[in-house]
Amino acid sequence: MPSRNRSHAPRNDRDAFNADDEFDFFAEPKKRKDDRKARQLCGQIFRALSCALAGQCRDEILQDLVVQSVSPAPNASRLLVTVYLGTRGPEIPPATVLQRLDLVRPMLRCEVASAIVRKRAPELTFQLIPSPEAPP
């Protein structure tokens, strides 16, 4: 005997899109919820790294670093942290700064893990850029 309940009847997909509806095939796709969550995670890590570098690092060079941005690279499991030297900018070679960042990377990752609520802490990749205040 066929069911009288119409809510279980199969839906016709042709009825879902009418000829009067507008659809732009070349429009940008809508931002997904993942993008918002990734930006939120990057903001939390930005604050955690800024505090960790300024307060908990005993290295004077690393205390002088300023976190400019944190962005997913390519997704939220690996993050690109962009930093620059504050007041000592040109006098310290970039290779030295990156080498010291590599040495404290495990400590910084632990700080990030304690600041966020995730199953796994993301990998951190550092990029050193010239100071915005420094003359070219």
Q: What is the CATH number of the domain that holds 54?
A: 3.30.300.20
pLDDT of residue 113: 92
**Total number of domains constituting the chain:** 1
Decide if 10 is inside a domain: no
Q: Please give the average pLDDT of every successive group of 10 residues along the chain, which has 136 residues.
A: 57 53 57 77 93 85 90 90 80 88 92 90 92 65
Query: Tokens at residue 119, please?
Result: 């199953």
Predicted confidence at residue 16, as pLDDT, reads 53
3-state secondary structure of 105: helix
Amino acid at residue number 102: D
CB within 8 Å of 45: residues ≥ 6 apart: 70, 79, 81, 112, 115, 116, 122
Query: What's the burial of 116, exposed, middle or buried (CB within 10 Å: 0-12/13-18/19+)?
Result: middle
Q: pLDDT value at position 18?
A: 54
Q: What is the pLDDT at residue 132?
A: 77
What is the DSSP pairing of strand 78-85 with strand 123-128? parallel
